[in-house]
Copies of this chain bind each other. A is one copy, B any other.
Amino acid sequence: MMTSPSHSPGNALRRLRQTTPLVHNITNHVAMTPTANTLLAIGASPLMAHAQQEIQEISAISAALSINIGTLSPSWIEAMQLAAMCAHRDGKPWVLDPVGIGASSLRQYACRALLEYRPSVIRANASEVLALAGEMNQGRGVDSGDDGEDALERASRAAITLARAQNCVVAMTGHVDVVTDGQRQITIQGGHALMGRVTAMGCALSSVVAAFLAASLDGHDDTLQATAAALACYAEAGETAGQSVEGPGSFVPRFLDALYTLDADSTLLASRLELTDVT
């Protein structure tokens, strides 16, 4: 689907492995270990830090930032704001994961505060995209699609609305992944049903997107392309890991192995993507 072979997911993966970008993560307590292992498996370098006293220095050495609003506390929100502020100021890519935004006002508060610093990508599932788009619209409209409308289609429309409102890329992941910058939309096929039975798969993916953004800083891919490449690699590894696995326990080590051994020359990777114009 890409306009030239150099924009293939395989090339993006190759660049990531060559540059091993340092990704600063402020993520939830559940996702800490899985996120670090996922970044290491695909070839990036993870760093977790949430003390306000070190945010500026950590930001200075990091190539990208990933923020996830699970297991919040007020002091963590302050650290997230400082980190996002640094990334925005310095032009570094950063990803917002509004996990469980529908669950509480505190999470909505945190997201609104963080959106001030213009995330490069919002990575979320369909219900989080709907909640966030509704939040932006102050509760009007987003949930009011025709009853006959397909759930994925309604969520995709919300993703486009959100991407336009925030002037960012929205990566909505689930059974099928949809990535949009408000003008273009890429769908990605792949993955495995067991990914929904393993914790922090989505959270870790947000950090993988950040790593791909960092690896594309030299203008190789734009944000939409780099995000789609990250999702294609994840989908491919998930599909590989899911073959002949017995449950979510054995899925995890196989998934990390699949990320580690992912073939950047695989023609499957690019074929997972389908581009549509949505202007």
Contacts and interface: CB of A to CB of B under 8 A. Distances in A.
Interface of A: 28-34, 36-37, 40-41, 46-51, 53-54, 57-58, 61, 70-75, 100, 103-107, 196-200, 246-250, 252-261
B75 A73 contact: yes
Given A249-B254, A250-B253, A40 B199 contact: yes
A250 B41 CA distance: 11
Contact of A33 (B30, B47, B49, B106): B30
A209 to B, nearest CB: 19
Contacts of A41: 197, 247-249
Given A49-B103, A70-B48, A40 B198 contact: yes
B36 A50 contact: no
The quantity of this chain's copies bound in the complex is 3
Contact of A105 (B54, B73, B107, B253): B54
Nearest to A22: B103
22 contacts: A29-B32, A30-B32, A32-B33, A33-B33, A37-B199, A40-B248, A41-B248, A46-B199, A51-B73, A51-B74, A53-B74, A54-B105, A54-B106, A57-B104, A57-B105, A58-B103, A58-B104, A73-B75, A246-B261, A247-B256, A249-B260, A250-B256
A257 B261 contact: no
Closest CB pairs A-B (n = 5): A249-B256, A247-B257, A249-B253, A36-B199, A54-B104
Contacts of A47: 100, 103
Nearest to A75: B73
A257 B253 contact: no
B46 A36 contact: no
A86 to B, nearest CB: 13
Given A41-B247, A103-B61, A250-B254, A50 B33 contact: no
A71 B48 contact: yes
Contact of A28 (B48, B103, B257): B48
A62 to B, nearest CB: 9
A33 B257 contact: no
Contacts of A198: 37, 40
A253 B253 CA distance: 8
Given A33-B30, A255-B249, A54 B107 contact: yes
Given A249-B255, A260-B249, A50 B71 contact: yes
